[in-house]
């Protein structure tokens, strides 16, 4: 029997789950996602609601940005007019 004061480290184990690529299944899943179908073939309303909500938020954000830019342009024009009226 050997007396060891230090524990020797064990080699690391790889946790590699093999993955297989099925092109047909990939196309089928993509098509189901485009149509908004769930596993049982019914329409997935939550994905539709999420996509509509995201689209609305993007358009709302761009609309707000355009409004902010127009306000800045108007302020710049007013500042130029005030400058020319009082200092020119």
pLDDT in tens, 19-53: 888 899 999 989 888 887 666 656 667 777 888 88
| Among 36, 66, 32, 39, CA closest to 51 | 36
pTM of the model: 0.39
Please tell me what DSSP assigns to residue 10.
Answer: P
List residues bridging with 37 in a β-sheet: 43
Cα end-to-end distance, the chain, whole Å: 102
59: tokens are 């358009």
Q: Are 87 and 80 within 8 A, CB to CB?
A: no
pLDDT of residue 38: 62
Q: What is the dihedral of CA 15, 21, 22, 27, to 10 degrees?
A: 110
Tell me whether residue 36 is exposed, middle or buried, using C-beta atoms within 10 angstroms of its C-beta: 0 to 12, 13 to 18, 19 or more. middle
């Amino acid at each position: 029997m050997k007396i060891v004061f230090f524990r020797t480290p064990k080699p690391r184990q790889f946790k590699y789950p093999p993955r297989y690529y099925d092109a047909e299944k990939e196309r089928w899943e993509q098509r189901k996602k485009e149509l908004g179908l769930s596993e049982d073939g019914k329409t997935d309303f939550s994905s539709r609601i999420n996509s509509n909500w995201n689209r609305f938020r993007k358009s709302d954000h761009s609309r707000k940005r355009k409004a902010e830019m127009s306000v800045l342009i108007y302020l710049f024009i007013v500042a130029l007019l005030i400058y020319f009226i009082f200092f020119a």
